[in-house]
Amino acid sequence: ETGVTQTPRHLVMGMTNKKSLKCEQHLGHNAMYWYKQSAKKPLELMFVYSLEERVENNSVPSRFSPECPNSSHLFLHLHTLQPEDSALYLCASSQTVTGLPYEQYFGPGTRLTVT
Amino acid sequence: AQSVAQPEDQVKVAEGNPLTVKCTYSVSGNPYLFWYVQYPNRGLQFLLKYITGDNLVKGSYGFEAEFNKSQTSFHLKKPSALVSDSALYFCAVRDMNNFNKFYFGSGTKLNVKP
């Protein structure tokens, strides 16, 4: 459970606020992911970083801005969000995405509420 | 397009009975399939995966999954359910055209009654 940590665990923000979500992995992985989890919907892949380079941006609105300063840390910067952005945001990590089917390890998530 | 489907929102079983959580997939080529479990207020935990070889895959906590190519299914099973197995279960497939992507089902809530 402590392999991937996320802070804060809960966040309430207004539509005009700017906040950041933080993820840290202690597993020596070199790929990191952001997912959005909404009730009764499939997990939505948002961003993928491999070897600190963004390799996937899954048509995510620009009000979400990721940052990966090194292979252990991943941020999601939030600004001018909408109420429909309220969800559980999950961070995950895995070995590098070079074709081998490595499983992902997930953090506990940040429960975001946009008011 | 790659996708997985979990046809049941919820599965209810009595403790001690066998359980099955269903998953079907749609991929081009050979699939890489995964099962994850999510307990309340926790992230997803990896249970097992199918890559190739034996169609019956064994995983954590006594779970296993059967890969059936002709039915394009990867159902999760356990011979004897525990109350502590109550959780949300997700099936996932890796995109064979873009290894950066995983596609998850919408989840199945398993409720094991004492």
Chain A environment of B92 (Cβ under 8 Å): 43
How crowded is residue A29: how many other Cβ atoms within 10 Å of its Cβ?
20
The answer to whether the CB of A54 falls within 8 A of the CB of A46 is no
pLDDT in tens, A89-99: 999 999 875 66
Chain B environment of A92 (Cβ under 8 Å): 43-44
pLDDT in tens, B23-64: 999 988 788 999 999 998 888 999 999 988 889 999 999 999
Partners of residue B14 on adjacent β-strands = B113
A-chain residue closest to B32, CA distance:
A101
Minimum distance, in Å, between the CA of residue B109 and any CA atom of chain A = 10
Return the structure tokens found at B32. Answer: 């890489």
Using CA atoms, how far apart are residues B22 and A38, in angstroms rounded to an integer? 21
